[in-house]
Amino acid sequence: MDFKELLAYQKAFDLSMVIFEMSKSFPKEETYSLTDQIRRSSRSVCANISEAYRKRRYIKHFISKLTDADGENSETNTWLDFALHCKYISLEAYSICKNQNEEIGKLINYMIHNPEKFGVKIQ
């Protein structure tokens, strides 16, 4: 199995693309702050999941990278809060992204607590 087949990766990738499209309409003055931050954190979720999967031979590395993915997912959640409160996104867009973000967090945590289901050998 390839990491791109992981549901957590697929959902994280989809959310990062939604955020990318949505953030195109953010004000120019946010280019190097909110726009950059929310794009980087959402993309980092995917990157860390892919790294975790490649390091699944070692349980501590696997869990460490997934913990990083979970942290980046939480950071994305915070940037979504800012985007809403700064009125850069609608409440509807916020709710959709927030729900996806929470689902991704649950999937990542499932992977952290069940590493053997993802090819990690428990010794």
pLDDT along the chain (123 residues), means of 10: 93 98 96 95 98 93 97 98 98 98 98 91 75
pLDDT at 5: 94
pLDDT at 1: 76
Query: Do 104 and 11 touch, CB atoms closer than 8 A?
Result: yes
Intra-chain end-to-end CA distance of the chain, in Å: 22
Q: Walk me through the domains of the chain, giving residue ranges and CATH numbers.
A: 3-118 (1.20.1440.60)
pLDDT at 119: 85
* Burial of 82 from C-beta contacts in 10 A (0-12 / 13-18 / 19+): middle
**Radius of gyration of the chain from its Cα atoms, rounded to whole angstroms:** 15
Residue whose C-alpha is closest to residue 72's, from 96, 40, 94, 98? 40
